[in-house]
Chain A
Amino acid sequence: MTDDSTIPGAAQTDRSDDKLLPELVAHLRDHRTELRQQWAERITGAHLLSAMTNEEVFSEATSVYDNYVGVLETGSVEALRDYARDLSERIIPRGVETHEVIGIVLLLRDVLARSLFEKYREDFELLTHVLNAYEPAANRIANTVAVSFVDQRERVIRDQQDALLELSTPVLQVRERLLILPIIGVLDQDRARQLTEQLLHAIRAHRAKLVVIDVTGVPDMDETVANSLVDTVTASRLMGADVIITGLSSEIAQTLVTIGVDLSKMHTVGDLQGGIEEAERQLGFRVSKVPDAD
C-alpha cells in the first residue's frame, strides 16, 4: 500500500476508479467491526432510531453496513433496495421517521469517509481519487435507501387509505329491498366515486328498490361533491333503484342553493328517520306499535 501511495503523479492515470473500489471495499471489510461500532455509537449519539433498542440498532447497523459494502463492491443496488424495503416494512410500524432513516445513512457515509481520510491522509492526490470513486456510490446508496423507505411509507399510507375508504362506506340493508348508506366524514371526489361504485354493486346484490343516503355526518359539500351525489342518484336510477337523500344540514342546503346545484330531481327528506319511514311507505311496509307492549 505504501508503495502504491508513493507512485508519482505520472502513474496516476492507471489508478482508475475501477481499481480503487476493490481496495476501498477491502479496507471497509478489514475494519468492519470498529467502523460498525463507531456508526452505531454515532446513531445513538444523534438520538436517531430512538424507537429501537441499542441491540436492534446494532444488528440493523451490521446488515446495512454489509449491504453498503456489497453495493460498493458489485455496483448493483438491487440487493440493497430489497433490504431497504424489508427494513422499512419492519421499522415503519415502530414510528421511525424519514429524517431518521436518511440521517443514519448519511452518518454511515460520514463515518466511512472519515476512515478514508484517516487512511489516505498522507497522500492527498490518492485521497481525491478514492473520494471520486466513493462519493458517487455513497450518494447512490443514500438515494436508494431514502427512496425505498419513502416508497414503502407511501405504500403503507395508500393501503391504509384504501382500508379506510372501505370501512367508511357501509351499505346496509334495513328492510327487504331497502338499503341505507350513511355517509360520515368529508366527501371528496374519489370517495364519492368509490361510494357510488359500492352502492351500485350493493343495489344489484340486494336487489334494492330504494336507497336512503344519509348525509348527516358530512360537514360540508362543494359543487363537485354535490354533482357527484346527483350522479350517484342518476346511476342508481339506471339500475332501477330510487334514492332518498336525508340529513342535509342547513349549511349544506344554503351552500347548494347558493352555488346553484340542481337538486330538483332529487328526493330529499329531513332526517334519516323520516327517510326510512318514507321509503317503507313507498315499498308498502307499515310499521306500527303493538298497543300493549311496554
Chain B
Amino acid sequence: MPTDTPTAPLAPLPASILSQRPNLIVSIHAALDDEQLVRLQRDLLERVGRERSRGILIDVAALDVLDSFAARTLADLAYMAQLRGARTVVVGIAPDVAMTLVRLGVRIPLTQTALDLEEGLEWLGQ
C-alpha cells in the first residue's frame, strides 16, 4: 500500500487512552501538534460513545507547554464529551504551564482541573 494515500496508517499518537470503566484515562506523553490534537479529540469522542464512558481524565503532567490551541481543543473536547454524557477533568498542569496560560489570557472554560490523577479520579467518582 503506498504510504501517501489517505488510508495509510498514521504515526501513533504520543498519548494513550486507557479504559477504566466507567472512565477513560488519557495520558499525554509529549507535546501534540494541532493535527494530533484533533485526532485525539476525535478518537476520544468515538471511544466515549463506544464504551459508554461517564468521565474523561486527561493527564497533562508530562507537558511543559500548553499552547492556546491545545487549551482550546481540550475545552471543546470537554464540551463535546458532555454532550455525549461524559464529564472531563484535566489534571497535572505544571506550575509554569499554569502561569503561562494565565499570562497569555487563555481561559479553559467548562473544564474542571485537578492536581493529579488521584484527585481527578476522586472528582470523577463523586
Contacts and interface: CB of A to CB of B under 8 A. Distances in A.
Contact of A197 (B95, B113, B114, B116): B95
Given A200-B98, A207-B115, A238 B93 contact: yes
Interface in B85-126: 91, 93-99, 101-103, 107-108, 113-116, 119-120
B107 A241 contact: no
Say whether chain A's binding surface is mostly helix, strand, loop, or mixed: helix
A204 interface: yes
A201 B96 CA distance: 9
Contacts of A237: 113
Interface in A65-99: none
B113 A204 contact: no
Interface residues on A, range: 10 to 19
Contact of A200 (B95, B103, B107, B116): B95
B115 A238 contact: no
A238 B103 CA distance: 13
Interface residues on B, range: 10 to 19
Q: Most chain-B CB neighbours within 10 Å: which of A201, A208, A239? A: A239
Interface of A: 193, 196-197, 200-201, 203-204, 207-209, 231, 234-241
A230 to B, nearest CB: 9
A193 to B, nearest CB: 8
Given A208-B115, A238-B93, 10 more contacts: A200-B95, A207-B119, A234-B102, A235-B95, A235-B99, A235-B102, A237-B113, A239-B115, A240-B93, A240-B115
Q: Most chain-A CB neighbours within 10 Å: which of B91, B97, B115, B120? A: B115
A201 B95 CA distance: 6
